[in-house]
Chains A and B, each alone.
Chain A
Amino acid sequence: MALAGAVAAAALLPVAYLLVRAGDGGWSAIADTLFMARTGRLLVRSLGLAAAVSVASAAIGIALAWLTVRCDLPGRRFWRVVAALPLAVPSYVAAFAFVSNLPELSGFLPTFAALTLLSYPYVFLPVAAVLERVDPALEEAARSLGDGPGTAFRRVTLRQIRPAAATGSLLVCLYVLSDFGAVSILRFDTFTRVIYEAYRSSFDRRPAAILGCLLLVFTLGILVAEARTRGRARYYAGRGTPRRPALVPLGRWRWAAVALPAGVAGLAIVVPLATTVRWLAESVQADIDLTRVSAAGGSSVLASVLGAVVTAAAAVPVAVLAARSRSRIAGFIERSAFVGHALPGIVVALSLVFFTVRFMNPLYQRLPVLVFAYVVLFLPLAVSSIYGSALQAPPSLDEVARSLGRRPLEVFRTITAPLLAPGVAAGAALVFLTCLKELPATLLLGPTGFETLATRVWSATQAGAYGDAALPALLLVAVGALPTWALARRGGESLS
């Protein structure tokens, strides 16, 4: 209990300090920043982009889920896995693919397209999972009560997927607000890009802090909105395994319908991969700087392993507490995918910069601070992974083991630890892969000269050295595909 509290407090401390720093210049400084015309434009751009991407993602996600789960789409099982894969592509890799093909691309439209192509799986996965589970008896009941097939789908089935679609769209919204890679490469000024520029270019870092707080207000607001929609949307799920619904025949549109998943997958996966491979081939003919790439790989692995180990260790007490308390914490943990996205990497990084400069100057731009940022960012990810295992080890098992004559430490060794192990391993692996792809915190907090695969893709793309970005980008997509594949195979339950 105390341990879990300590972890939570440590995770929130730097963010709290960001608020203090933002208030440093007093109300007039805050007002100056907030009421700059630029801030207004920034707001409109950021929220507009987030809203547009959310709506487009919902449309694509629901359509793909319906086609691959409920229709006789040719190869629907294949498309169902493929449709989840864009989740594996980091946004800066997709942006790199766009820009390296058409260097003049910038602004709203390309950013919107890139982010939509990458984030619609947040809607697709939970909606597909719900469609899979919807009991056909519901539609049958509606039909027997006088609805035609289309009306029954609209009045019954669509209502069933609404909570999953809403939740997924809000997740997309958070993803877009926190994204740094795509907006910075495609030069569309949203919060994250402007915060980064303000931090890099000016000696006065207060505006960055104030904008960071403002961004935080919006993401936390979305988190609250999510909790509320979820609170109302308690949908009844039939018990047991329902019968599989009959597939909707698409008739002569059957093959034409393949264009949608194929087109989306082409743009979101094939274009980045093909581009990367092309640049790679070109750069091999030139001289590829393998030592630099392997050094970046080594740094990535070092930071990510440390991040994964520390995060998983910190997550264990939190997950166990959540699994064993009946109450609200458990619900909070179940929504941890959201909590994680509600803290944009740039904001966490910025707050840690302020915090270390002020209180732990010797640690400024040292590895421990970067690892700590990973812990703050990805703790929810690890907790939700360990939570499932912790449910497998309820207190009644401890009690039985004690009554059978074993002391508490022995009980932990023989019962609790073996039951938690799979969740801890999965959580650590997931955090490891996520750390590899992390960009803004690594940029801000990495030691001077510290280059990871992610920062390498970003800086090489910024510099127009596309050949240098290719190999790291390919490596990142490859490692990202692993957990996404597993998630798609499981049916995206953990996202819903």
Chain B
Amino acid sequence: MSATGDAVECMGLWKAFGAVQALRATDLSLATGTLTAVLGPSGCGKTTLLRAIAGFERLDGGRIRVSGQAVAGPGLHMPPERRRVTIVPQEQALFPHLTVAENVGYGVKRGARRDKAVAAMLELAGLAGLGRRMPHELSGGQQQRVALARALAPEPSVVLLDEPFGSLDAALRDEIRSEVAGVLRASGATSLLVTHDQEEALSMADSVAVMRSGVIVQHGPPAEVYRRPADLWVANFVGRANILQGTVSAPGKVETALGTLALAEGPDEGAVDVVVRPEQLHVVATAAGDPGAGDDLAVVEDRRYFGHDVVIGVCLPTGERLLVRLPSAEPMPVGSRVTVACREPVLAFPTLADVP
């Protein structure tokens, strides 16, 4: 175990495929016993990072330590079978010619303990009684759990999950996500989940590392990544965000099309991009026949109903378009004239053109 108590430490990883630079001095640490999500758009290098930790890719530079032991570094490339790092691949990749129990026991050392370990693992993954089935006889969710049980059975230092829910249909996905998170917690394993789905990352992980172009741009608890994004790109990528142009008039105050807003965080002066989450906005419908209902009001342009809430698009008199999330009980038909207000402190980032 390393001094920091981290199960995995990646320090300054570099990896290129031809002209494509997949990893650029990537740093990432996984705290023991936690589930970390690496969240990024496709092509950001997250799968390469995972494959480098597993030992399937040879690094161009940087070091990786697993449980304090160096597994990759200058002149060092420990083969995958010696790293104690297991993987749940995208399409599960169950061994089609082996039974469920044989799949799960594949990585466990032969001996009296193996049968016990396999039985315990099947139990933990909710697969008790299915050990003799063949993989193709299982449902998608069961296959997913076999792949997870197989990866957990050898008690690895870390389990890597490579977009494991992509192949499941939407209705199953939620349920299986929470099952998987439950099994991972129950086993006490350290795990790394790679995904492009921000909802998945925020809902499952203890910490979220946002990756862009081979670099981890922000790493923290889900709430922090959502509330305090490191930059405008992260704000846009993690969750819905309205971006308004504004000017900081005084420290803590910013002038926008919505009026003067309180700044939770941001520069002390200059032009800024203001991040307003859809649920931070409030709308009030103007009373019917109100003579004041005129050009200085916003108009509801569209409305998407999700059952638990509703997202409406409004167009401000100044022309900006904003998304607003409301409780679904509020009637707000398309064409209504409304006033829009933001009562919570907001985030702002210096407008890019302003940066020298």
Contacts and interface: CB of A to CB of B under 8 A. Distances in A.
Interface of A: 392, 394, 396-397, 399-407, 414-415, 418-419
30 contacts: A392-B96, A394-B93, A396-B89, A396-B91, A396-B93, A397-B93, A400-B86, A400-B87, A400-B89, A400-B93, A400-B150, A402-B79, A402-B80, A403-B55, A403-B83, A403-B86, A403-B151, A404-B86, A404-B106, A404-B107, A404-B150, A404-B154, A405-B81, A405-B84, A405-B107, A406-B107, A407-B81, A414-B106, A415-B95, A418-B97
B272 interface: no
Interface in B114-131: none
Nearest to A406: B81
Contact of B89 (A399, A405, A406, A414): A399
B95 A399 contact: no
B326 to A, nearest CB: 39
Top 6 nearest A-B pairs by Cβ distance? Answer: A404-B107, A402-B80, A396-B93, A403-B80, A405-B81, A402-B81
Given A396-B93, A418-B97, A401 B56 contact: no
Interface of B: 54-56, 79-87, 89-91, 93, 95-97, 106-107, 150-151, 154
Q: Which secondary structure dominates where chain B touches chain A? A: loop
A327 to B, nearest CB: 15
B105 to A, nearest CB: 10
Contacts of A399: 54, 56, 80, 87, 89, 93
Contacts of A394: 93
A399 B82 CA distance: 13
Contacts of B93: 394, 396-397, 399-400
Contacts, number: 60
A65 B114 CA distance: 55
Contacts of A419: 96-97
Contact of B106 (A392, A401, A418): A401
A406 B154 CA distance: 12
B169 to A, nearest CB: 14
Contacts of B54: 399, 403
A423 to B, nearest CB: 13
A254 B82 CA distance: 70
Contacts of A407: 79, 81
Nearest to A422: B97
Contacts of B151: 403-404
A405 B107 CA distance: 6
Contacts of B87: 399-400, 403
B95 A405 contact: no
A403 B153 CA distance: 12
Given A403-B55, A404-B107, A405-B107, A397 B95 contact: yes
B27 to A, nearest CB: 23
Nearest to A394: B93
Contacts of A414: 106
A403 B96 contact: no
Contacts of B84: 405
A421 to B, nearest CB: 9
User: Which of B54, B79, B97 has most chain A Cβ within 10 Å?
Assistant: B97
User: Which of B54, B95, B150 has most chain A Cβ within 10 Å?
Assistant: B95
A392 B154 CA distance: 25
B192 to A, nearest CB: 13
A390 to B, nearest CB: 13
A221 to B, nearest CB: 36
Contacts of B91: 396
Contacts of B79: 402, 407
Contacts of B55: 402-403
A414 B90 CA distance: 22
Given A399-B93, A402-B81, A419-B96, 12 more contacts: A392-B96, A396-B89, A396-B91, A399-B80, A400-B86, A400-B87, A402-B56, A403-B54, A403-B55, A404-B106, A404-B150, A414-B106
